[in-house]
Amino acid sequence: MSKSITKLSKEEVMHVAKLANLPLNENEGEKLKEQLSATIDYINHLAELDNKVKSLPPTYQVTGKENALRDDITRPGLTREEALKNARRSYNGFFVVPSVWD
């Protein structure tokens, strides 16, 4: 099997971390860079099957199910207490986060 060596740059890694909303410091980014590159090397093996899968449709749903729908009726949900129970911060019935506006 031919192997192509993937070399992710630190910028790429930090960009992915930002997309993934993962707080990574420089060191962690460096470490992950190596591991991710190795994994990407491995999954690139999938390309070897390209001839066999070219004309195949993708399978997103193995059950073959279609039209799994529900009627438009209401059902009891959570009380406000239950909804807020596990929040780190709540206030007057709301969840609280640091301001998203500067």
- Nearest residue to 28 via CA among 44, 97, 20, 98: 20
- The distance from CA 101 to its chain's CA centroid, rounded to whole angstroms, is 25
Give the pair of three-digit tokens for residue 101. 């506006």
Closest CB 24 distance from another protein, rounded Å: 8
- CB nearer to another protein: give 5 or 98: 98
Type of residue found at 6: T
Closest CB 30 distance from another protein, rounded Å: 13
Closest CB 5 distance from another protein, rounded Å: 14
- CB nearer to another protein: give 26 or 50: 50
Closest CB 17 distance from another protein, rounded Å: 7
77: Cβ–Cβ under 8 A, 6 or more apart, which residues? none
Which residue in this structure is represented by tokens 């709301």?
94
- CB nearer to another protein: give 7 or 18: 18
- CB nearer to another protein: give 7 or 49: 49
